[in-house]
Amino acid sequence: MSSIIIEIRAGAGGEEAALFAQDLFKMYSRYAEIQNWKTRILDSNQSEIGGIKQIIFEIKGNNAFSEMKFEGGVHRVQRIPKTEKADRIHTSTVSVAVLEKPETTQININPADIKMDFFRSSGPGGQNVNKRQTAIRLTHGPSGIVVTSQTTRNLEENKKAAMEILKARIFERERKEIENKISGERREQIGNADRSEKIRTYNFPQDRITDHRINKKFHNIEKIMSGNLKPIIKALTSN
């Protein structure tokens, strides 16, 4: 049984990008449910109208990494936003990073290398939802990696979640260095979330999803967004 950490971030497109980030999170959550995988949110930041600016969550289950590793990259959506009054199609982007979660024995972090900062959890729009400082920010000195967690009102739970994110990011960096590839696959996957950097396009008016890496098109977009990812994953893993 493998565990992965997925990070979803809204890119170009403002509130519409945040709403699509929410849609992608629901799609992955539903697919995990279909696969009998377990999902746990480690950190999230909502937008004003119910979208997601950023969410980091863990998926645990058989073959989770081998099936989900191809989701890393920039996802582009073309549709008429709920906030659009003139029925114009907008193009927005969301970035996804898929990190393999290391086993306890695979990575060791010196506690002296970590700086901890505590702050109050906030809700949509930055409003404070917690009067106590239960949110946590970890800064890893040697790598410069910074992570936060404010999902719960329990400091210890947030600290544990932040450590899991940090270990996954450090493990990813070390793994890529060992493989002698370009370091920072996470940054590679996320890129600048520019509209031109894309692995997949979700075209709602034409009911079509195009995966640009294998140049293949899939239809019945609503069914796919409801968790029916298997055809796309099968096409990617068999290529």
- Over the stretch 63-110, which tens digit does the pLDDT of each residue have? 999 999 999 999 999 998 877 777 888 899 999 999 988 776 677 788
Query: Residue 238's pLDDT is what?
Result: 86
How far apart CA 75 and CA 95 sit, in angstroms, is 6
Q: Which two tokens stand for residue 64?
A: 């989770």
CATH topology of domain 2-103+183-237: Alpha-Beta Plaits (3.30.70)
What is the rounded radius of gyration, in angstroms, for the C-alpha atoms of the chain?
18
pTM of the model: 0.76
Contact 11, 47 (CB under 8 A): no
> Partners of 55 in the beta sheet?
8, 44
Residues of the chain within CATH 3.30.70.1660 domain(s) are: 2-103+183-237
- 105-178: which CATH number, 2.60.450.10, 3.20.20.70, 3.30.160.20, 3.40.190.10? 3.30.160.20
Q: Which two tokens stand for residue 11?
A: 């890119």
Residue ranges for the chain with pLDDT beneath 70: 104-105, 122-132, 176, 178-197
